[in-house]
Copies of this chain bind each other. A is one copy, B any other.
Amino acid sequence: MGREMRWWGWGEDARAGAMSARALRWLEGELGAFEAPRRGVALDDVRLDPPQLPEAIRSGFADILRDDRAARVLHTRGKSYPDLIRQRAGDCVDAPDAILAPRNHDEVRAVLEACAAAGVVVVPFGGGTSVVGGLEPVRDGFTSLISLDLGALDALETLDERSQLAIVGGGLRAIELEALLGKRGFTLGHYPQSYEYVSIGGCVATRSAGQASTGHGRIDELVVGARMVAPAGDLDLRPQPASAAGPELRRLVVGSEGVLGAITSVALRVRPVPELTRYEGWMFPSFGAGAEVLRRFEQGGLSPDVARLSDETETRMGLGLAGFGGMRAAALGAYLRARGVAQGALAIVGWAGGEDEVRARRDAAGEVLREGGGVALGQPAGKAWLRSRFSGPYLRDELMDRSVLVETLETATTWAQLFTLYRAVGDALRQHAPLVACHISHLYPTGASLYFTFMARTRRGEEIAQWAAAKAAASEAIVAAGGTITHHHAVGRDHAAYLEAEIGSTGVAALRAVKRELDPAGVMNPGKLLP
């Protein structure tokens, strides 16, 4: 089943870093002094019930079945803050009764048909990286539940270089796809923060965006074909560059969150590995000034491939957690003060392409950046971001050791509404957390995304309630301000109650109708997506 993450946290021990003493001190300054770090229970102390699986499933799929403690605990949930709180507490009594890991499309079909017939819930599991409760083992009245681990569907099936189109197994991890494509001179260019573990099928099921999606497009735009096994039949959408043959059913697969079926293969637009990438930091006098530049970029066709802008708090937090201090901090502070952008807003902009192309685009963008009040910090700031861009979740683990609530959430809206939404969500979160930071990371001609990070000391034993209160406040503020309940994390369980506010009761009814048709027994990932 490939490389597995730590059952109680993100990633692997070997990849986890450790916060510097200076960073810890900075954060204690914000949140108050920390307790001594303590992790959760040991694997052997995790509470599990004995597996209950119909014999037909157990014997029918013995060769692809695991139900050992380690596998069941790991597959119990994803990696949301409340998921990890529960894992650390050793609360896995609702663990899957088994993990089934089919090796090909036909085996996936066999498993789904058998589970539908036997009334066994199926929770598709790709990289296991959901941060919205998308993997929570909701039985919804059924007795048994399996985790359908798609990790064995990990082939680069076809690479059509002429059409720049790759067909890949749904279980292939994004990082492994890049390695396979890279050998042939191609790249997908899709880098969600979960990049090192997420599966391509998971990206598709959750409508993910990547850090370069401003330039390369969301997964929605990269998918040109898909194959999904539903209990009632295969939805087989061959690669097509474009069509007008009725509603685009690829967009029914994208965002389906395992509720309609399991994605066994995906046809993706790929592109040649760029000659060159260049990332830079720019400091703006304010978040508002920086946002104005991003809007000009996007509406003027000048957007870099990566364009992210931290608000003043996130900028301060980034410098604090990076452990800047002493001489370096003083020098940087003096430089920024001299240019009028101390306490400003940091932007990271990046380009990929041929050398001439990158230079031309960078020059054009540089003019807009300077006109908008930006002060160039050069490539070191860009490289620092690049180095740490997948490490946020490891930091969360360390903070959770120290009883810090740390959570992120994201939304999007039009440019005209962006700052109304920003203030509304920030105000709501600050009722629950002293540290609330935000950045814009995805640009569109009509609007942009907002990504919030918030932190608070936890009250031991009340972590989930504390999280739920903050999450509800933010979600209600988003809905009231007309933002989307999720820009790229998906709906899962955490946002399901807010879906109707976004797509209306008729929208929900339409999705339910598709669900009834494709999964008449209702065994596919219940409790997710649909309210």
Contacts and interface: CB of A to CB of B under 8 A. Distances in A.
A64 interface: no
A271 interface: yes
Given A506-B230, A506-B518, A518-B510, A245 B164 contact: no
Contacts of A246: 207, 255-257, 490-491, 499, 503, 511, 529
Interface in A161-206: 162-165, 206
A488 interface: yes
A417 to B, nearest CB: 8
Given A240-B412, A240-B484, A510 B514 contact: yes
A332 interface: no
A416 B242 CA distance: 15
A414 B165 contact: yes
A243 interface: yes
23 contacts: A163-B414, A164-B445, A208-B244, A209-B242, A230-B506, A233-B509, A235-B504, A238-B482, A240-B412, A241-B445, A242-B412, A242-B484, A243-B484, A243-B486, A244-B491, A245-B490, A245-B503, A246-B256, A247-B253, A249-B507, A251-B252, A510-B517, A513-B516
A513 B360 CA distance: 50
A490 B415 contact: no
A262 interface: no
Interface of A: 160, 162-165, 206-209, 218, 220, 224, 230, 232-249, 251-257, 269, 271-272, 295, 299, 301, 353, 357, 360, 412-417, 442, 444-449, 482, 484-491, 495, 499, 502-507, 509-514, 516-518, 529
Given A164-B445, A506-B232, A514-B513, A244 B255 contact: yes
A447 B241 contact: yes
A243 B502 contact: yes
A256 B252 contact: no
A506 B519 CA distance: 11
A208 B237 CA distance: 20
Contact of A244 (B233, B271, B489): B489
Closest 7 CB pairs of A and B: A241-B447, A513-B517, A241-B444, A233-B506, A207-B244, A243-B484, A251-B251
Contacts of A506: 230, 232-236, 518
Contacts of A491: 244-246
Contact of A510 (B160, B235, B257, B353): B235
A289 to B, nearest CB: 16
Nearest to A236: B504
Given A233-B506, A507-B237, A495 B447 contact: no
Contacts of A442: 242
Contacts of A301: 353, 357
A530 to B, nearest CB: 8
A232 B509 contact: yes
